[in-house]
Every structure is written in C-alpha cells, then in structure tokens.
Amino acid sequence: MIPTSTVPVRITEVCLRDGSHAVAHQFTVEQVREVTRALDDAGMHYIEVSHGDGLGGSTLQYGRSLVDEMKLIEAAVEQCKQSKVAVLLIPGIGTVHELKQAHSLGAKLVRVATHVTEADVSAQHLQVARELGMEALGFLMMAHSAPVDVLVEQAKLMESYGAQAVYVTDSAGTLLPEQVQERVRALRNAVSCEIGFHAHNNLSLAVANTLIAIQEGATRIDSSVRCLGAGSGNTQTEALLAVLERRGVDLGIDLFKMMDLAEDIVAPIMHRVPEVNKGSLAMGFAGVYSSFLLHAERAGKRFGVDPRNILIELGRRKAVGGQEDMIVDVAAELAKQK
C-alpha cells in the first residue's frame, strides 16, 4: 500500500490551470501570486499555470481569460523559491511560439496534451520542449476511451518523441479503480519513462484511484487544492497528502500549510464548491466530455428523451470533442426506439 517505484512521487498542483475552468478563467494576478506563494511555502513540487485549455486557450470558443496567462505565469514564477512552474499545451490550441514564451518567463515543465488516440500531434512540441531544456511530459486525455493496448501504443509514441513521463488522464472522471490499475500497470510494463495520473472526482473516486495509480508505480500525480478543477474537481491535494501521511509516505509537502491554504486562500476564490452533481456525475457515468452536457440537454428536450441516455450512448460510441453533431443523431435514434 505504499509507492512501489524507487522514483519519488511528485505532485503537480493544477488548481491554477484545471481550476481555471471552475472560475471561468477569471484568475487575477494577485490571486495567482497569493496561491503560488503559499504553495511554494508548503513545498509543492510543481504548480501548473495556464488557461484551463492550456496555453493559447483564451479564445471565444474556450473562454476568454481575464488576465493574459503569460502575466499569470510570470507572477507565479516570481513567487517560487522551491516550486517549479508548469504549463499545459494542447497542440492545435497552443503553439510552439507560446511554449517558448512561457519558457522564457521561467516555466520549467510542460505537459503536452492530446486525445488518447492522437499522440502523434505531440511530437513537435515535446521535441521543442526538450531542446529548450524543459521537462517534457505527455498527457493522454480521455484515457478511458481507448482500449488498453491503444493507450500503451500511444504512450510509446510520446516516449519516442522525448516525453519523460506519460499520463493516464481521466478527463471525464469515469475510470473505476480496476481500470486505473489495469492502465497504469500496462504502461509500467511497456515504457521506461515515468507514469503520471490525472483524475477528476465525478464518481467520487479521485483520491482512491490516485492511491491505486501510485501503488501501481505512477510517480507524477496531479491534484488540486480544495478540489478546484473542472467538473467535480480533481484529486483533492490535501486529502491525498493526509492519506499518504497516514500510510507513512512523506512527499516533503507540509500538510497543515496545505490545509490552511485550502481554507484561507483558495476557498474564498472559488465561484462554487466543486461537488458531485447531476452534470458531473452524468459525465463520469457516461464517460463523455463536459461540453456535451448542454447539447444533450437541448437535444433531449427536442426529441423527448432523457439527456443522460444520449450521453451514455455517446460514451459507447466514443464520441470526441468536435463531434457534437452526433448528439442530435443519437437523440433522434433513441426517440425512434422508444
């Protein structure tokens, strides 16, 4: 029940990136400064700062940021005495130009994120990151939606491009404990780089799934303080640290300082408390993107079917972002079957 790897477990705090979704990308420079200062003081390993959809995400489509993320990255870097600032980059949204800019401002690590079947689009960005001397990690999103052998094959691709770790990213918060175990174990047996794990709490399993990932050898762990992330939030940092400490695992991060930070600095910033609600649970249950929810509700109304049945069918068909048209087709079919 303790980490099986000899590589130490390192946490990336994602509240200033995944949490950006939860505050509609309205972080201020002062908020980023205050949160980063406290995280650094507690000994956090990495602090990710970017638009929720990664570098360059501030657009009409993904939501405009209140403050240019480069300013936020700069503010975070200034506060760090021991923590390193990380950024997220989704090729197609973010560019090499933005990666270089973030690096020049002091970002030390990038996670290059792609859909689980599209690792090939990460090659250029991973290579550039390595050339810049950054830590370059690969992030396989919606990891539940591909068979395990495909996940493994895609992780190997990322490793071949220079990724120093590959993440099982449970974007829809839908993986069950046994599915996390199977995926991390399969990667552990297939790649030489580190394995990472990123959870969402939509089924209320994020902390437990993260413990299993660590047990199976994952050493790069994402979490968000006070659960500040998209959907039901991520693995709650301070809860994870408390459980690990109870198990005798010391990551060098001060639990009490993290608890204080959660209560005194992060909670007051939050627009709402991340909880397992109808929308996030439907997402976790069906294994689909959160952006499908609203479309499914509209189509459900139009065709007189429960939007959750639409989401479940979309999950079965492994619908991905950009396939929103499929939603109306599915709704029409379900209406016919009734």
Q: Which residues carry a binding-site annotation for substrate?
A: 17-18, 171, 198, 289
Cβ 289 to its own copies shortest distance, Å: 17
Q: What are the residues whose beta carbons fall under 8 Å from the beta carbon of 213, sequence distance 6 or more?
A: 168, 180, 184, 195, 197, 199, 221
Pick between residue 217 and residue 287 the one whose CB is nearest to its own copies. Answer: 287
Structure tokens at 46: 């990495």
The encoded tokens of residue 323 equal: 């396939």
CA-wise closest residue to 212 among 226, 197, 191, 201: 197
**Catalytic residue status for 21:** yes
Distance, CA of 219 to CA of 173 (rounded, Å): 19
Q: 168: which DSSP letter?
A: E
Contacts with its own copies, 168-207, as mask; x by CB under 8 A: --------xxx----------------------x-xxxxx
- Our CB check for its own copies shows the closer of 119 and 146 to be 146
C-alpha 266/C-alpha 35 separation (Å) is 7
Considering only residues 239 through 258, tell me which ones interact with its own copies, judged by CB under 8 A.
239-240, 242-243, 245-247, 255-256
Closest CA to 112 of 132, 91, 133, 98: 91
What does the per-residue mask of binding to its own copies show for 55-94, with x meaning CB under 8 A?
Answer: ----------------------------------------
d(CA 304, CA 321): 24
Name the one residue in this structure whose structure tokens are 């991520």. Answer: 234
> Any bridge partners for residue 10, and if so which?
220
Query: Using CB under 8 A, which of 92, 273, 302, 316 touches its own copies?
Result: 273
Residue labelled with tokens 């929810």? 293
Find the shortest distance in angstroms from Cβ 273 to its own copies: 4
Q: Which is nearer to its own copies, 152 or 180 (CB)?
A: 180
Separation CA 235–CA 106 (nearest Å):
26
Instruction: Report CA torsion sign: 222, 228, 231, 235.
Output: positive
Nearer to its own copies among residue 62 and residue 289 (C-beta): 289
Contact call for residue 285 and its own copies (CB under 8 A) = yes
2 binds its own copies (CB under 8 A): no
The single residue of 21, 25, 45, 51 carrying the catalytic annotation is: 21
Q: Which is nearer to its own copies, 91 or 284 (CB)?
A: 284
Which of 10, 37, 103, 308 is in the footprint of its own copies by CB under 8 A? 308
Residues 6+ apart with CB under 8 A from 324: 291, 292, 295
262 near its own copies, judged by CB under 8 A: yes
Tell me what percent of the chain is helix, strand and coil, each rounded to the nearest 5: 50, 15, 40
Question: If binding is defined by CB under 8 A, does position 306 make contact with its own copies?
Answer: yes
Give me the residues that bind its own copies (CB under 8 A), please. Answer: 1, 176-178, 201, 203-209, 211, 226-227, 236, 238-240, 242-243, 245-247, 255-256, 259-260, 262-263, 267, 273-278, 281-282, 284-285, 306, 308
The set of catalytic residues is: 21
